[in-house]
Amino acid sequence: LAEHITYVHMKGREPDKEGMKPLDMSLMRRYIAICKRKQPVLDERLRDRLVDMYVDLRKEARTNKDSTFVSARSLMAVIRLSTALARLRLADEVDTVDIDEAIRLLEVCPVVFLAKPLPFW
């Protein structure tokens, strides 16, 4: 799915259908059902890292007028996204890579919405 979306985004058209085999929907449904049952936990080490990151971002937001607004909702968004990413990996615990990717996604989001739209939009 990610490859398809990035291809369409980069090329502005659907990819050629040759050599592509669609995913089996029953397999996708089973995978999603398994992901939904997962309840990854956030261990203390990562919790402390998130708290430190949040405090640092709040300090930076106070001193830097150009920075984006950081609230408790921002922290909750990082926690929810990192938990969802851990579910996709079928992991029992949230990992550093999940948190890093969640932060990256949230940092990129404002840029995506402010960027000049592609010609085919």
Angle at 72 between CA 70 and CA 78, to 5 degrees: 80
Q: How far apart are CA 9 and CA 62, in angstroms?
A: 36
Question: Whole-model pTM?
Answer: 0.70
Helix (H, G, I), strand (E, B) or coil at 12: coil
- How confident is the model over 69-101, as pLDDT tens digits? 778 888 898 999 999 999 999 999 999 999 999
- How confident is the model over 95-114, as pLDDT tens digits? 999 999 998 888 777 655 44
Q: Domain map of the chain by residue range?
A: 40-121
